[in-house]
């Protein structure tokens, strides 16, 4: 089923395939009766627009967690460094200004709540039940495990855990997202719903 967005999603920087974004949109719609949505790793807002647009339709909220300083692979000299997002004055990556502009253009400011902080700090006093958690933060083993351990426990029964960039074959990509996907299944608390390209969708039992 095609979806309607308020912006041209192809103009937003990011690494989410259209099929994965549409799957997130429909997943957020299903999750709405269960609780708020939350994503870890917003970058410039591509996934936030998909999830936030679903929240707008269902009168829900998306909490968008990101320190906006870029993951390891976004730093100067690394493979996915984008000089347009580098703050020369601060000598730091900073995707927050671009993120805010994209959320504003998509008319989602009432439905997307940015939390500009590292995942572990944002989770420290978190008490809001969640219907959907989407993990797409740092892809180091430490970062992925932190995101999973901080947020999966807040998903209500029947709620969803979505993990991006799952590559079972190490030749195709980094293994940290695949590791937390396996960890979730091995916990006995989650069951696989479907895979959409590299997006794994699980349900809290």
Q: With CA atoms as reference, report the closest residue to 69 among 116, 112, 114, 101.
A: 116
Q: Is 67 a catalytic residue?
A: no
Nearest 5°: the CA angle 133, 139, 143 is 70
Query: Of all helices (H) and strands (E), which one includes residue 113?
Result: strand 112-115
Low-confidence ranges of the chain (pLDDT < 50): none
Taking only the tens place, the pLDDT of each residue in 40-82 is 999 999 999 999 999 999 999 999 999 999 887 888 888 888 8
Instruction: For residue 8, tell me if it sits in a domain.
Output: no
Tell me, yes or no, whether 3 lies in a domain.
no
Range of 63's domain?
14-204
What CATH number did the domain enclosing 117 receive?
3.40.50.150
Burial string for 147-166 (b: 16+ CB within 10 Å, else e) reads bbebbbebbeeebbbbbbbb
* Number of domains, the chain: 1
In a domain, 76, yes or no: yes
Catalytic choice (67, 68, 139, 154): 139
Q: What is the pLDDT of residues 140-157, one digit of tens each?
A: 999 999 999 999 999 999
């Amino acid at each position: 089923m095609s979806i309607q967005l308020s912006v041209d999603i192809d103009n937003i920087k990011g690494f989410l395939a259209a099929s994965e974004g549409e799957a997130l949109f429909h997943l957020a719609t299903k999750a709405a009766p269960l609780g708020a949505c939350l994503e870890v790793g917003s970058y410039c807002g591509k996934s936030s627009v998909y999830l936030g647009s679903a929240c707008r339709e269902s009168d829900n909220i998306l909490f968008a967690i990101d320190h906006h300083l870029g993951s390891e692979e976004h730093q100067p000299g690394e493979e996915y460094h984008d000089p347009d997002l580098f703050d020369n004055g601060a000598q730091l990556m900073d995707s927050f200004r671009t993120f805010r502009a994209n959320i504003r253009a998509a008319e989602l400011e009432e439905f997307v709540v940015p939390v500009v902080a590292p995942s572990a700090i944002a989770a420290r006093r978190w008490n809001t039940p969640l219907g959907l958690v989407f993990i797409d933060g740092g892809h180091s083993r430490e970062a992925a495990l932190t995101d999973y351990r901080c947020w999966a426990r807040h998903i209500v029964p029947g709620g969803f855990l979505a993990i991006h960039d799952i590559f079972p074959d190490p030749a195709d990509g980094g293994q940290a997202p695949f590791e937390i996907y396996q960890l979730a299944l091995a916990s006995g608390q989650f069951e696989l719903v479907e895979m959409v390209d590299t997006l794994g969708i699980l349900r809290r039992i």
